[in-house]
Amino acid sequence: MGILDIPGLSKAQGDGRYSFKPRICTLRANHMGGSTYLNNAGGSAGTYRIQHVMPAGLRVAAPRALFTNYAGQFRQDLIQVLAASLEISGLTYQLSFFGALTTSLTAGGSVVSDPLGGDLDPAAAPYSRTYISLADATKRWPVGIICNSQNGEGSSIGSPGTDLTGGTFGFATGNPTLNTQIAFSPAAIIGVPSVNIPAVALITDSIGQGTGDSGSSFGAGDTNADFGWCLRALNRKIPYGFISKYGEQAATLASTIMYRTRILEFCTHAVCTYGVNDVQASASLATLQANMLKIWLVVAGRRLPLWQTTLTPVSSSTDNFATVGNQTPHANNAVRVNFNNWLRAGAPIDPATKLAVAIGTGGALLAGALGHPLNGYLEVADQVESARNSGLWKVHATRARVLTDGAMSSVSNQTTLNSASGAFTSADIGRAVTVVGAGGGAGLLLGFIVATPSGTTATLSIGAFTTVSSATVAIGAYTSDGVHPSADGHIAAATAMPTSTFTATGGYVLAS
């Protein structure tokens, strides 16, 4: 017997086409990755409104919302009251939890709402409304996603805050204030997809989350910008969820991942990018391998195909990374090199102990083999490294250059970059730009070129926070700080993970 008996189809065909497990079906997820908590924005309760984007052509039955109450490895305070609703095509539908309209959410806990009876239409870009209430204004809740006021997102927080999730059936009682607060929202919207689409768990640090990226594969005017190489690679075709935290080492994740695995229940594949922070923290190769294996084994235990990325370089530079020659690799680069070489050789482990062994060890278990936690690896380092194992960032052969006469004004955060020597052309559009001193606190201003009105002026994606003249400007570099890729670096890294990574086997397809 098959799972389903469908007239005209064999048991295998029926099972393959109609027995899809519930999974993440939207693209804009609340990664809850930051180590900071919103200290109530001056209140103890309130409502957030966040939009969730779906892959084109995907229909989702029985949608539900997954909520988590942690930020990275941190578990903080009890959410005494949680209420939520979904806005679908202009109507608001209250979600229930175990048959009730509200629930509580313990520190470090998670909860999934009851399924709605209707479907999410392929053309819908649903909003979630989430109300939370804590005991008093000294309590804190985790936040992760930044409200985009251009998309009607925002929050209304107070003491007491107002529950704006319900009201008359189909119509909300009011809208939260449009703003750019960091929000609490569903970790994911899950449901039964109309096709067997993959859903990828992104186990990432700040690199995978997009730090350093200033653009979007969907253009400068895109209001739901998919920052970072991971999301650029998924290209809004594959839903995803995050298990992540900025600045976190594999050592920390390995000891706390058991508190953060709920999202894996609703994924079909997983990608891990951890390791670079351990290199910077001077971890040994043995320690790094041991901690990575702990993470991999937890994910593999959930029966998800898992890929690990090769670790990207860490270096310093005397010319804002505009040349290879003026870079110096990190002192612990040898550990990164040896880890990458071990990974490329199949991450050999002892079949019995599941501990790392040397490359070439007889009888070792290799990635892809039954019993090994890894399905394979993604060659990200080669896309951005000047040469394999150099420890230095690549420099684009034709686009990278350094100017020393950059000028910008912070009046009204002007986006115009002036440079008499700029020689700007339309070929520069989309290139990453670092303007030294023009950022907040006279730091680096990171952006990309969106227009070139003349050979001496370029319009950037971000305005200046500090007025500068005779500033150093790096254009087209693959990094701005030696750790995180720039927009150009993220674009290059994304080529290591084509969508076919997740559709090559298992009968997975993309929505049309």
Q: What is the pLDDT of residue 42?
A: 64
> Is pLDDT at 381 greater than 90 in this prediction?
yes
Q: What is the pLDDT of residue 6?
A: 43
Q: What is the pLDDT of residue 72?
A: 67
Residue 126: both structure tokens together: 């649903």
> Is pLDDT at 138 greater than 90 in this prediction?
no
Q: What is the pLDDT of residue 43?
A: 77
Q: What is the pLDDT of residue 294?
A: 97
Q: How far is CA 340 from the centre of its chain?
A: 22
Calculate the alpha carbon distances from 95 to 62, 127, 164, 193, 307 in Å: 11, 13, 13, 19, 35
pLDDT digits (tens, 9 = 90+) for 31-45: 554 434 555 556 788
User: Whole-angstrom distance between the N-terminal and C-terminal Cα of the chain?
Assistant: 31
Number of H helices and number of E strands within the chain? 10, 29
pLDDT digits (tens, 9 = 90+) for 331-343: 999 999 999 999 9
pLDDT band at 117 (very low <50, low <70, confident <90, very high): confident
| Cross-strand partners of 66 | 112, 188
Residues 124-138: what's their mean pLDDT?
Answer: 87
Please tell us whether the domain made up of 401-475 is placed in CATH 2.40.10: yes
Q: Is 278 helix (H, G, I), strand (E, B) or coil?
A: helix
Q: In whole angstroms, give the CA distance from residue 351 to residue 363.
A: 8
Residues 251-263: what's their mean pLDDT?
Answer: 87
> Is pLDDT at 8 greater than 60 in this prediction?
no
Q: Work out the number of other CB atoms within 10 angstroms of the CB of residue 255.
A: 13
Question: For tokens 């979007």, what's the residue?
Answer: 216
Which of 23-32, 113-122, 131-140, 370-379 is least confident? 23-32
pLDDT digits (tens, 9 = 90+) for 385-397: 999 999 999 987 7
Please tell us whether the domain made up of 198-395+492-503 is placed in CATH 3.40.50: yes
pLDDT digits (tens, 9 = 90+) for 408-438: 999 988 999 999 999 999 888 878 888 999 9
pLDDT band at 29 (very low <50, low <70, confident <90, very high): low
Residue with the bigger pLDDT between 180 and 438: it is 438
> Is pLDDT at 9 greater than 80 in this prediction?
no
Q: Would you list the domain boundaries of the chain?
A: 33-192, 198-395+492-503, 401-475
The mean pLDDT value of the chain amounts to 86
Instruction: Of 391, 389, 384, give the one whose Cα is nearest residue 476.
Output: 384
pLDDT digits (tens, 9 = 90+) for 449-462: 889 999 999 999 88
Residue with the bigger pLDDT between 72 and 488: it is 488
| Cross-strand partners of 24 | 190
DSSP 385: B
Domains 198-395+492-503 and 401-475 share a fold: no
Side-chain half-sphere exposure of 127, counting CA atoms within 13 A: 24
Residues 447-474: what's their mean pLDDT?
Answer: 93
Question: DSSP states of 133-177 as a string?
Answer: E-SSTT--EE--EE--GGGT-EEEEETTPP--S-SSTBS-S--PE
Q: What is the pLDDT of residue 1?
A: 37
Question: DSSP states of 186-235 as a string?
Answer: -SEEEEEESS----EEEEE-HHHHTTT----TT-TT-TT---SHHHHHHT
pTM greater than the 0.85 cutoff: yes
Residue with the bigger pLDDT between 502 and 42: it is 502
Helices 333-344 and 285-300 cross at an angle (nearest 10°) of 40
Q: Which long-range contacts (CB under 8 A, 24 or more apart) does 255-258 make?
A: 255/73, 255/294, 256/72, 256/73, 257/294, 257/295, 257/298, 258/298
Residue with the bigger pLDDT between 501 and 70: it is 501
Q: Could you tell me whether strands 468-475 and 457-460 are parallel, antiparallel, or unpaired per DSSP bridges?
A: unpaired
